[in-house]
Amino acid sequence: MGWADPKGMRSRMSAAADDIRADAGQPVIEVRDVTVRFGGVLALDGVSFDIRAGAILGLIGPNGAGKTTLFNCLSRLYTPSSGDIRLLGRTILRQPAHKMAGMGIGRTFQNVASFHNLTVRDNVRVGAHSASRSNVASDALRLPSARRSEREIDRAAQELIDWLELGEVADRLVAGLPFGWQKRVELARAMAAKPKLLLLDEPAGGLNHDEVQELGGLILKVRDEGDVTVLLVEHHMGLVMSVSDRVVVLNFGRKIAEGTPEEMQKHPEVISAYLGGGDE
């Protein structure tokens, strides 16, 4: 396990994170006693935590700990058996999955889920779907309202492309891009909806050492400049420990610890969960 802190990343983030902490009041997301049962299996057992505005929360745990289940609850693919999830004080559990983007929860996918046969620019434009309005009739007839909305989408997409340095591939199909680039496109696509909370599902998967370093920088950049709160579900310890403000550790569906990355690295239960054995 790479517990080591990749050089430079931590120091780069601290300054900006401190600014945000100063005015961080209300938590962006509140997870309250979330329990998920699949038949007889208890996938999540009364998990609670908050994420404060502008923070990056790392969610870690061994395989089968319930990270993905929790992630899917937050993106409304699963509904908890009990408990509540509130975004800025409002429960999200009564809305369907496709309303999450509009409510302010954006996400990326494990192993990338791009729209392969669209260009990078069109991927980002689809990302702006929830932040814009039109219907099939206004689009077919190119009514002024649709044209206005299209211009706004174009401008937002161009800004994101410039911001995340996707300019040189902007008009290429995503299908032919290297994996690392596709992740960047997914990030731009998620940010196009102007989310308040960004969910990242194992973004380091499939990347080499240098690419993980670059990804860490990218996550910090998005948080610092994009005015967004981040939940990072990740296996890669180096990445989690270097970019997270706080870390929540799950094991067998329960939260076993929460604290700063430094605290978690010394926490006996966390260490035993990762090294096997322990009290379970």
H runs (alpha helix) in the chain = 9-22, 67-74, 100-103, 120-127, 136-140, 144-163, 179-191, 209-226, 237-243, 261-266, 268-274
In the bound complex, what is the minimum distance in angstroms from residue 275's beta carbon to another protein?
Answer: 33
H or E stretch including 196? none
Q: Which is nearer to another protein, 121 or 223 (CB)?
A: 121
| Token pair in block for residue 233 | 């579900």
In the bound complex, what is the minimum distance in angstroms from residue 231's beta carbon to another protein?
Answer: 14
Residues that bind another protein (CB under 8 A): 75, 77, 97-102, 106-107, 109, 113-119, 121-122, 125-127, 129-132, 134-136, 139-142, 146, 149-150, 153, 168-169, 171-173, 175-178, 180-181, 183-184, 189, 193, 207, 211, 214-215
Q: Which is nearer to another protein, 45 or 139 (CB)?
A: 139
In the bound complex, what is the minimum distance in angstroms from residue 126's beta carbon to another protein?
Answer: 5
| Token pair in block for residue 68 | 């993905």
> How far apart are the C-alpha atoms of 29 and 115, rounded to whole Å?
28
> How far apart are the C-alpha atoms of 148 and 152, rounded to whole Å?
6
In the bound complex, what is the minimum distance in angstroms from residue 206's beta carbon to another protein?
Answer: 12
In the bound complex, what is the minimum distance in angstroms from residue 181's beta carbon to another protein?
Answer: 6
Instruction: Give 102's contacts (C-beta < 8 A, 6+ positions apart).
Output: 130, 131, 193
Q: Which of these, 161, 74, 77, lies nearest to 125 by C-alpha position?
A: 161
Q: Which is nearer to another protein, 62 or 217 (CB)?
A: 217
Q: Which is nearer to another protein, 72 or 242 (CB)?
A: 72
In the bound complex, what is the minimum distance in angstroms from residue 154's beta carbon to another protein?
Answer: 11
End-to-end CA distance of the chain: 21
> How are strands ordered across the β-sheet holding 229-233?
105-107, 197-201, 229-233, 56-60, 246-251, 254-259
In the bound complex, what is the minimum distance in angstroms from residue 104's beta carbon to another protein?
Answer: 11
Residue whose token pair is 């908050």: 50
Residue pair 194/131 in contact (Cβ under 8 Å)? The answer is yes
In the bound complex, what is the minimum distance in angstroms from residue 182's beta carbon to another protein?
Answer: 9
Q: Which is nearer to another protein, 189 or 246 (CB)?
A: 189
Q: How many helices (H) and strands (E) does the chain have?
A: 11, 10
Q: Which is nearer to another protein, 109 or 252 (CB)?
A: 109
Q: Which is nearer to another protein, 90 or 142 (CB)?
A: 142
Q: Which is nearer to another protein, 125 or 223 (CB)?
A: 125
